[in-house]
Structure 1
Amino acid sequence: MMTDANPSSSLTVLVVDDAATNRNLMAAFLARLGHEVIFAVDGVDALECFAAQRPDMVLMDLMMPRMDGFEATRQLRSRQDMAWAPIIIMSALNTDADIVAGLDAGADDYLVKPVSFAVFAAKMRTMARLLGMERRQRELLERMQAISNGVIDGLVTFDERGIIRSANPAASRMFACADGGLNGLRVTELVAPRGERPPYRLLARDLAGSPVGADGVVHQLDGQRADGTVFPLEVGVTELHLDGQPLYIGVLRDISERISQQAAMADHAYRLQRYHDEQHREQELARQIMGSQIDAEALRDPRIHFTVMPARRFSGDLVVAARSPSGRLFAMLADATGHGLTAAISVQPVLPVFYTLVARDEPLAQLVGDLNAVLHRSLPVGRFVGAALVCLSGDGREAEIWVGGVPEVAVIGTDGRVRQRFPSDHVPLGVVNTAAEGCQVARCAVLPGEQLVMYSDGVVEATNDEADSFGVARLEQLLAAHPADGRIEALRIALAEHLAGASAHDDMSALLLDCAPSSDFFGLWDAMI
């Protein structure tokens, strides 16, 4: 059989003739042209050979026994499917009526015997070209049909009256119909009624939701399956013009799963929002309760400058201060393990102990011991609180200092430079049941205009996206470059600029105390003496 469009390709030709001489002559002609030959001696034999071997072409005689060529041509033409096989009548009958009758029976050409080889060869070349063109078109249609059948979306074509002309298997399955079951239906039968049905001449406008001819517009409708089930349907319509007549191509998509997913996502988002709101309310309540335990009034002492910058909503860093009855100023910067709510809870037990002992004017060493004992009892294993505690005398000339688990405490001279350092030489609070030696404090004389500086390790370890840490050197340069009352604000700005939008990995806090007497120290002194 012919396998390509080249006219010189070999064809399989069925020769139908009751005369052996004619069959032999055609066999010689066809062999010379490079074609293969199948023989049939009459119309009945021709039908059987055609069904069994599917030749590319038929050369048909007219006057034969059992079934003549006219009837055999009619039956062969009726039995051909999409594959076209040319039928050429070759007969000695040469009247116009015979030629017309042969062509009306379904023949593609008519040759009168005897036929010269030159004419026969030219006819065969013409038919081979026509066969090649037909097969290219058929292959293209088959390819397009295969693509249409393989598309997961439903595809339908319909005319301006809304009559479906074709539908791919996906469209048939979508509407619960057998393959081909949609053909001939009105396309509006695929859509669940929404009030009055639109005129069919406006069908594309109704489906696409836009004027006819607009391509790529998608509209959501309610589809209706053959069993009456209604489902969400997405439709896009494109208008074409073939032979001057409009043809519409509809792309149909069952979006039931998408709608279900959207509903599930909306419900999930609602639940998440409700959970977030509840968490926010609970955290705000917790923050207010925790904040109420801090003596905010004591932190308004003009000698105190501080900042607390949490990595999360809650800070594990704590800054507290209180003044004893004798005028001493106690201050503490605490840094609990981790950050967030759990860290914030860890430092809460120290507040009542701190305020109670300061109110009783207990020594700093006693305060450290009692704080450690409370945290050792209340915190689980692995949790502890680093802290720096300072007690400034009423006249502002002497300081007691205890440091455990946080960076060193520094004394800043009047020139802004570090004059003395007190390193962390104790374990953090809550780690062990500290003996008396673990509560020993350091003492130093301070001068008016100097400052005591405490900060958490989150300050010096603040790291930007370039893996550059803020560091101790940068901190001390900043302190030296600014006056005492502007250092905390300068530190806030410098940390924000250093991080440049990067998230802080730990809470950041700093506490600066001016070395000065309390505002009513001299009145208290006079009363005491």
Structure 2
Amino acid sequence: MRLTSAPQDSVQQRLKILVADDAESNLLLISKFISTLGHTPLLARNGVEAVKQFECAAPDMVLMDVVMPVMDGYQAAIKIREISQHHWVPIIFISAKTEEAEQAHGLSIGGDDYLPKPLNLLLLEAKINVMRRIAGMQRQLEENAQQLQTYQREAEEEQRTAYTLMKRMIHTESLNDPALRYWVSPAKRFCGDTVAATRSHNNNLYVILADATGHGLPAALNLLPVIQIFYGMADKGFNVAHIAEEMNRRLSGTIPTERFISTVLACFSYREKTIEVWNGGNPGPVLLSATGEILHQFAPRHLPLGILDAKTFDPRTEIFHWKTSCQLIICSDGLLEIENSKGTPFGKARFLEILTSVPAKPRFAALVAAVREHMESNAAHDDISMVMIDCTQLHYPAKLEALAPQPATGHNGPWRCQLTIGAAVAKTLDLAPLLLHHLEAMEIEKTKCDRVVLIISELYNNALDHGLLHLDSSVKATPGGFEQYLALRQERLENLHHGEIETQVEQLIIKNRRILRICVKDSGPGFDFLPHLNQDLSHNVQPYGRGIPLVKGLCKNIRFVGNGNEVIVDYAL
């Protein structure tokens, strides 16, 4: 919006000037003088006529005699001011009454200036010019005020639209997950902090807490691409590192580096009992047991999103394996920095004190209450956000029952696709999203599509870990074994230069039913698969050996070929 200034050529403006005087000689003199100045005179011979002329002609200025019949100039000025409450028109009294008290009275009841009789025409011209300039500025102020009102209405409508759009993009229904509790308190109407969550095809829970620089609508708008990428990639099962990498790539090319976004990305796998975290610029998330013991703190290892370019960005994550009931608490720095009336911040020490001293069930509510009590009645200067994930409420079923075959809705004819993945690609490949894209293109119903991706992912990971990387899953059962397993896996992936995994998916029509035949074959030496085929998934308490029983429970059949480096399963659509 642009507010204009008063026009520079206002001296040349033609004005309508109302002249009220009961003396014809004065009317004639003043009206002719006004005409010579290039203005239009409007004449009235008493106060009543002056008021009627003002209502009908809307003059730009009034020259008002004080002593007139029917209604004097003072009474007429009061009426005129009542008529023009929202529009200022200068009134200059002209009178032989020159006493200071008389002039003060005229100014107090609505007059703007006072000229004595007999008139000094040179002084009258100067007064007209001064009042014209003041009136011009007044009109400009009124126009600017109208523009501001229009701008305010438009801004409020735009904010309502933006607020509705952002609420829809956040997918608030996903935050009703039984494993989640969250609290977001904005410093302004629009919040620069956001919390979002979603489940992937294999029921992993993805959570993001993002804190954009600044407050209000500008900060909230910077979050939109982050949320869009989060849902788009997490729903498809991309790993945390790739999600963080894509978010940073998008932000580094669209927002100034000083408008960075501090972000915690986390992925929770109930089946693997793992928490994977990427933390860029936020306070370290804290993992606590049910009794309040700090099991782990995820350090803020990275810079916020949007600062580094793609070449220098570090997408590496931290993975923790949990063995007992626990809760992860993630918060923005606004929570730790909120001050009370004495200027004392809430602080990390008090944050940890409350977390460790309160039992698991009331822990979240106790922390929110403590922060609100600390704030007292002070307005927050920063957005506050916090989310707690209860790992025991992730609810991954012990056994996934096979879905009953449904009428065919997709491509009913035979088809086959094959994917061969070499060592270089296997180091960074996110297989699940790639599979999901192809299966959705074949119009396979979503629930079954998710099951197929889960089956192939399990078989592929088994081929990668045991066939190409030669890892022994039993290491996970030893003290510190899970962390050792992950570290060894990362090391061998980085040093992997040979080998390949071939994945083939073929649709067969057998007795008028659609069957997906899935074959995964690796170039490794194979492994001892027989013990895993006979395991009961519901009774397996070990942190390994669950993948093959899970696949077996979902498929019509499963068979290994050779030394175990090739597996074939049939899944009924």
Output the TM-score relative to the length of structure 1: 0.51
Q: Does the alignment pair 1:479 with 2:375? A: no
Q: Does the alignment pair 1:308 with 2:184? A: yes
Give the counterpart letter for 2:343 in structure 1: A
Distance between the aligned counterparts of 1:303 and 1:435, measured in 2? 36
Q: Secondary structure at the match of 1:453?
A: strand
Q: Does the alignment pair 1:344 with 2:220? A: yes
Q: Tell me the CA shift for residue 233 of structure 1.
A: 7.5
Query: Contact (CA 8 Å) 1:221, 1:232: kept in 2 or not?
Result: no
Deviates more, 1:316-325 or 1:444-453: 444-453
**Which of 269, 287, 299 is matched with 1:393 structurally?**
269
Cα deviations across residues 70-102 of structure 1 (Å, max 9, x unaligned)? xxxxxxxxxxxxxxxxxxxxxxxxxxxxxxxxx
Deviates more, 1:513-522 or 1:297-306: 513-522
Distance between the aligned counterparts of 2:75 and 2:365, measured in 1? 62
**Which of 253, 275, 280 is matched with 1:377 structurally?**
253
Unaligned runs of 5+ in 2: 1-32, 34-44, 53-66, 83-88, 94-100, 113-130, 401-536, 539-549, 554-573
Distance between the aligned counterparts of 2:264 and 2:233, measured in 1? 16
Q: Tell me the CA shift for residue 442 of structure 1.
A: 1.7
Query: Contact (CA 8 Å) 1:336, 1:386: kept in 2 or not?
Result: yes
Q: Secondary structure at the match of 2:275?
A: strand
Q: Tell me the CA shift for residue 407 of structure 1.
A: 0.7
Cα deviations across residues 21-61 of structure 1 (Å, max 9, x unaligned)? xxxxxxxxxxxxxxxxxxxxxxxxxxxxxxxxxxxxxxxxx
**Which of 409, 426, 451 is matched with 2:302 structurally?**
426
Cα deviations across residues 251-283 of structure 1 (Å, max 9, x unaligned)? 111238999887765554443222111111112
Distance between the aligned counterparts of 1:222 and 1:460, measured in 2? 57
Query: Contact (CA 8 Å) 1:457, 1:508: kept in 2 or not?
Result: yes
Q: Does the alignment pair 1:407 with 2:283? A: yes
Cα deviations across residues 161-180 of structure 1 (Å, max 9, x unaligned)? xxxxxxxxxxxxxxx9xxxx
1:186-225 equivalence runs, <5 A: none
Q: Tell me the CA shift for residue 314 of structure 1.
A: 2.1
1:47-446 equivalence runs, <5 A: 232=91, 251-253=105-107, 254-255=111-112, 267-395=143-271, 397-433=273-309, 438-446=314-322
Structure 1 residues 498 and 248: alpha-carbon distance in aligned structure 2, compared to 1, 3 A threshold: same
Distance between the aligned counterparts of 1:488 and 1:233, measured in 2? 71
> Percent of aligned positions with the same letter in both sequences?
29
Distance between the aligned counterparts of 1:250 and 1:383, measured in 2? 58
Q: Secondary structure at the match of 1:378?
A: coil
Q: How many correspondences in the alignment?
A: 324
Q: Secondary structure at the match of 1:505?
A: coil
Cα deviations across residues 155-203 of structure 1 (Å, max 9, x unaligned)? xxxxxxxxxxxxxxxxxxxxx9xxxxxxxxxxx96886558xxx99999
Partner of 2:345: 469
Distance between the aligned counterparts of 1:319 and 1:329, measured in 2? 13
Distance between the aligned counterparts of 1:492 and 1:233, measured in 2? 65
Structure 1 residues 454 and 259: alpha-carbon distance in aligned structure 2, compared to 1, 3 A threshold: same
Q: Secondary structure at the match of 2:386?
A: strand
Give the counterpart letter for 1:252 in structure 2: G
Give the counterpart letter for 1:313 in structure 2: R
Q: Tell me the CA shift for residue 405 of structure 1.
A: 0.7
Structure 1 residues 334 and 248: alpha-carbon distance in aligned structure 2, compared to 1, 3 A threshold: closer
Query: Contact (CA 8 Å) 2:46, 2:69: kept in 1 or not?
Result: no
Q: Tell me the CA shift for residue 292 of structure 1.
A: 2.0
Distance between the aligned counterparts of 1:485 and 1:297, measured in 2? 22
Distance between the aligned counterparts of 2:309 and 2:258, measured in 1? 14
Output the TM-score relative to the length of structure 2: 0.47
Query: Contact (CA 8 Å) 2:48, 2:70: kept in 1 or not?
Result: no
Structure 1 residues 416 and 270: alpha-carbon distance in aligned structure 2, compared to 1, 3 A threshold: farther
Give the counterpart letter for 1:251 in structure 2: H
Give the counterpart letter for 2:208 in structure 1: M
Cα deviations across residues 7-28 of structure 1 (Å, max 9, x unaligned)? xxxxxxxxxxxxxxxxxxxxxx
Distance between the aligned counterparts of 1:408 and 1:262, measured in 2? 57
Query: Contact (CA 8 Å) 2:187, 2:381: kept in 1 or not?
Result: yes
Q: Secondary structure at the match of 1:290?
A: helix
Distance between the aligned counterparts of 2:90 and 2:194, measured in 1? 59
Q: Tell me the CA shift for residue 389 of structure 1.
A: 1.5
Query: Contact (CA 8 Å) 2:193, 2:385: kept in 1 or not?
Result: yes
Structure 1 residues 399 and 194: alpha-carbon distance in aligned structure 2, compared to 1, 3 A threshold: closer
Query: Contact (CA 8 Å) 1:397, 1:516: kept in 2 or not?
Result: no
Q: Tell me the CA shift for residue 492 of structure 1.
A: 4.3
Answer with 1 or 2: which has the greater Rg: 1
